[in-house]
Structure 1
Amino acid sequence: MNASIITIGDELLIGQTIDTNSAFIAQEFNKKGIWVKRRVAVGDVAEDIEKALDEESLQAQIVILTGGLGPTADDITKPLLNNYFGGKMVIDPKVAEHIEYLFREVYRKPGPIAERNKKQAEVPDVAKVLHNARGSAPGMWFEKTVKGRNVVFVSLPGVPHEMKGLLVEEVIPRLLKYFKFPFIIHRTALTAGLGESMVAERLIDFEAALPRHIKLAYLPSYGAVKLRLTAQGQQEEQLTEQINFQFDQLTALLSDILVSKADEPIEKIIGQLLLHRKKTMATAESCTGGNVAHWITRIPGASAYYNGSIVSYSNLVKEALLAVPSGTLRRQGAVSSETVEAMVKGALQQLGADYAVATSGIAGPDGGTPDKPVGTIWIAAGNQDRVVTKLLQLRFDREQNIEITTMQALLLLRRVILDLEADPAL
């Protein structure tokens, strides 16, 4: 069972808005056994949208559209779909009532409701209206026979919060009643320490021996590689048993570089390590500007193990708040093993944590020297008894350098925690 996603809007094509809707739809569909075969972005041009509808309905039995349902003149999706499916525009009384409720009770807008907002209650009479509890633009469900196959088209708002509500509460339950889907099961492992190609070399024989209905995907990111096994079939219990057997073989082959046997981010892994040991952590950041803290605190419940951060972008703050010796900054410089080690010790003292992470470097695009070019970054992690430092020599743009540094700093912290647990004398 294949699906296609069509995202509509000039803002997507020029990069003004990042398309997060497609990722969410694909993730939710995949949980239910719906495989997203294609994703297409088109601008606010009627001919382009119609062409995408024609092409995608040949590829998939489910076509999801997002965007172009607002009250302004550039929102052309609704009248276009009305013409495409041969309907006429009518006022849906439930949508009209909901819009009235939103403007009077939720938005509390004084005065009469603008006509352009009232017109959002107009829908094609050939559509099934999907209630949008989070906004004024309703979702719409259409059906059409294409090459002897019944294809479902669903139009959703482009506003992510509204789209998510409609997809989960209205669209997926209807699709599950309308179609019978196969089972899709994933198992994901996270590795670190080897690049994608080197990991693939280890898995040549394993991959060649996989059953045809189980596929292996490599997902490299910021110095780590995810390995995802995907199995498709009709018998869930048998499928689960098969993929678990293959996953155990996979992780055994990569045991020395294995970070996690679950599809979870490094910041969640760190949180679980600390919670299990009833320990806390803190961060002292320079070149990452608080990004390590951001990663840690995007996990709900991080307050149970995360004490706080000192973003010491200047040497003055490094000295004043983290007690980095002025002599160290003068002789070795802010970008040095000695400085990040001192930053860790200062964070432990100032923020009362059991573990700390520190970063200091030259993220770019300028600021480099012959001795310390752009991409030279030192990281450190440790506790009161031991601090480990590591030099990174990165070659990417500023944003990537910061993201890679964040990942590597947390991977270093994980290693330090596990090493100390294995040998407390270290």
Structure 2
Amino acid sequence: MKAAIVTIGDEILIGQIVDTNSSYIAKALDKIGIATYEMFSISDEKEHIINTLSYFQNKVDVVILTGGLGPTKDDITKKTFCDYFEDELVEDAIVLEHVRNLIEGFYKRPITTINKEQALVPSKAIVLFNKMGTAPGMWIQKENTVYVSLPGVPYEMKYLIDHEVVPLLIQKFKRPYIVHRTIMTYGRGESLIAEQIEVWEDNLPKNIKLAYLPAPGRVRLRLTARGENEEALGIALDMQIKALYELIGEIITGIDEDEAIERVIGNLLNGKKVTLALAESCTGGKIAESLTAIPGASSYFKGGVVTYATASKINILGVDKALIDEFSVVSEQVAKSMALESKRLFDSDYALATTGNAGPNKGDARAEVGTVFIALATPETVYCEEFNFGQPREKVIGRAVNKAFEMLYKEILKN
């Protein structure tokens, strides 16, 4: 089965907002065995919408559109649907009652004509009840293609996908199974991994595909199997992963997205009943952001400081000014001092510290642009490693964050 995902709205095309809807929908479809064939973003123009609907007619099984269902004049999706499907708008009593209760009950204001028009839907459509907002979703089939129109507001779209669209798709279509396993690796580049697993990759069964998903300092290896028997696919993937562990097991931190290194580290810290603190400079709080994205991080993450300026390292952390004057703010000595002072400040068992030149200019440092020092204070000692991550700036910061996690992960495993 194949699907197309279409987002409607000039605000996406001019970069005013980021399209997160397509990603959510594609993941939801993938889980039920429907592969996304294409993704489009188009403008709020009648002709463009109709051409897109026509383009996918009988080319895919399902077209899911988001956007253009609001109450204002620039939202034209419903009327355009009527033109394409040779239909007319009719009032849906259930939707109207819901809109009235929401406007008059929750917002405490009289319902307007514009509000009432939200209850107008094409007569041929199956109405998808939107508990989270006023705009209902619509499901219309034409020949061999089902068209689904959803609101563009992300939380409304997500509700309708989860509670209306996916159940209907499961009910209507017989689907093959698509099973994924994502192997999380750390500390080795994509090309080197590819060389090490080349023979294994060349001998994968025809129904199993491998994709490399690299990021600075980490590579995800996604295995995808397609077939009619879900249990057999899972067994086949597990066999391939076992073989992969024999080849590169030392850099594998876990399987699937829930075992990203941040989560693995959190589980290790919790299991050992130890805590972590941070002192970030060049990484600007991104290590803390990654840690606190994991629910329950407060049980092991004591806190951190972003001492971005030289003065804040002295005044807040308590790094000796003489140390900075002698060795420079980007140095092993300063990184170690930052880690130790953070460990003291938060009374933690471990502390990570970063200081570096992310670029594009040197600033107060003597070190070359791209240079980063990462220090780790442990219950027994403190040590530091020096790296040069090159450029651009975003790459330096991303790799510094990931390398800090790698250092911490390896240190915890030692104990």
Task: State the TM-score, normalized to the length of structure 1.
Answer: 0.93
Residues 337/94 of structure 1: CA separation in 2 closer, same or farther (3 Å cut): same
Q: Distance in 1 between matches of 2:150 and 2:361?
A: 44
Instruction: Find 2:255's aligned residue among 254, 261, 270.
Output: 261
Instruction: Find 2:190's aligned residue among 174, 192, 196.
Output: 196
Tell me the secondary structure at the aligned position of residue 57 of structure 2: helix
Residues 395/45 of structure 1: CA separation in 2 closer, same or farther (3 Å cut): farther
Please list the CA deviations of residues 124-178 of structure 1 after superposition, one character each: whole Å capped at 9, or x if unmatched: 1111110111111110001011xxxx21111111111110000001100011000
The yes-or-no answer on 1:138 pairing with 2:133 is no
- The alpha carbon displacement at 1:25 in A equals 0.9
Instruction: Kindly report which structure 2 residues correspond to 1:108-187, keeping only aligned pairs within 5 A, or say none.
Output: 108=108, 110=109, 112-145=110-143, 150-187=144-181
Q: Distance in 1 between matches of 2:310 and 2:267?
A: 33
Amino acid at match of 2:310: N
Structure 1 partner of 2:230: 236
- The alpha carbon displacement at 1:123 in A equals 0.8
- The alpha carbon displacement at 1:396 in A equals 3.6
The 8 Å contact of residues 251 and 261 in structure 1, kept in 2 or not, is answered as: no
Q: Distance in 2 between matches of 1:334 and 1:58?
A: 63
**Consecutive unaligned residues in structure 2, runs of 5 or more:** none
Amino acid at match of 1:254: I
Amino acid at match of 2:194: A
Instruction: Kindly report which structure 2 residues correspond to 1:38-117, keeping only aligned pairs within 5 A, or say none.
Output: 38-108=38-108, 110=109, 112-117=110-115
Structure 1 partner of 2:294: 299
Residues 364/45 of structure 1: CA separation in 2 closer, same or farther (3 Å cut): farther
Q: Distance in 1 between matches of 2:396 and 2:365?
A: 18
Q: Which stretch of the first structure deviates more once superposed, 150-159 or 262-271? A: 262-271
Q: Which stretch of the first structure deviates more once superposed, 371-380 or 25-34? A: 371-380
- The alpha carbon displacement at 1:406 in A equals 1.8
Q: Which stretch of the first structure deviates more once superposed, 127-136 or 386-395? A: 386-395
The 8 Å contact of residues 138 and 150 in structure 2, kept in 1 or not, is answered as: yes
- The alpha carbon displacement at 1:370 in A equals 9.4
The yes-or-no answer on 1:28 pairing with 2:28 is yes
Tell me the secondary structure at the aligned position of residue 254 of structure 1: helix
Q: Distance in 1 between matches of 2:115 and 2:212?
A: 46
Amino acid at match of 2:370: G
Q: Distance in 2 between matches of 1:395 and 1:128?
A: 55
- The alpha carbon displacement at 1:274 in A equals 0.7
Q: Distance in 2 between matches of 1:384 and 1:231?
A: 45
Amino acid at match of 1:273: L
- Which runs of at least 4 in structure 1 moved beyond 4 Å after TM superposition? 368-371
Amino acid at match of 1:113: I
- The alpha carbon displacement at 1:374 in A equals 3.0
Q: Distance in 1 between matches of 2:285 and 2:87?
A: 53
Structure 1 partner of 2:267: 272
Amino acid at match of 1:134: M
The 8 Å contact of residues 2 and 34 in structure 1, kept in 2 or not, is answered as: yes
RMSD: 1.7
- The alpha carbon displacement at 1:63 in A equals 0.8
Query: Identity across aligned pairs (percent)?
Result: 44
Amino acid at match of 1:59: K
The yes-or-no answer on 1:217 pairing with 2:211 is yes
Q: Distance in 2 between matches of 1:404 and 1:387?
A: 21
Q: Distance in 2 between matches of 1:411 and 1:78?
A: 51
Q: Distance in 2 between matches of 1:46 and 1:364?
A: 46
Tell me the secondary structure at the aligned position of residue 173 of structure 1: helix
The 8 Å contact of residues 388 and 416 in structure 1, kept in 2 or not, is answered as: no
Residues 370/387 of structure 1: CA separation in 2 closer, same or farther (3 Å cut): closer
Amino acid at match of 2:14: I
- The alpha carbon displacement at 1:382 in A equals 2.9
Q: Distance in 1 between matches of 2:60 and 2:246?
A: 38
Amino acid at match of 2:175: F
Residues 290/141 of structure 1: CA separation in 2 closer, same or farther (3 Å cut): same
**Consecutive unaligned residues in structure 1, runs of 5 or more:** 422-426
Instruction: Find 1:314's aligned residue among 278, 302, 309.
Output: 309
Instruction: Kindly report which structure 2 residues correspond to 1:310-389, keeping only aligned pairs within 5 A, or say none.
Output: 310-368=305-363, 371-389=366-384
Please list the CA deviations of residues 327-378 of structure 1 after superposition, one character each: whole Å capped at 9, or x if unmatched: 1111112211111111111111110111111111222333458953332222
Q: Distance in 1 between matches of 2:95 and 2:395?
A: 45
Q: Distance in 2 between matches of 1:405 and 1:10?
A: 36
Tell me the secondary structure at the aligned position of residue 307 of structure 1: strand
Structure 2 partner of 1:424: none
Q: Distance in 2 between matches of 1:387 and 1:300?
A: 28
Amino acid at match of 1:307: K
- The alpha carbon displacement at 1:245 in A equals 0.6
Amino acid at match of 1:10: D
Q: Distance in 1 between matches of 2:83 and 2:19?
A: 26
Q: Distance in 2 between matches of 1:98 and 1:107?
A: 13
The 8 Å contact of residues 345 and 384 in structure 1, kept in 2 or not, is answered as: no
Q: Distance in 1 between matches of 2:238 and 2:371?
A: 41
Residues 167/124 of structure 1: CA separation in 2 closer, same or farther (3 Å cut): same
Q: Which stretch of the first structure deviates more once superposed, 211-220 or 10-19? A: 10-19
- The alpha carbon displacement at 1:179 in A equals 0.4
Q: Distance in 2 between matches of 1:363 and 1:313?
A: 12
Task: State the TM-score, normalized to the length of structure 2.
Answer: 0.95
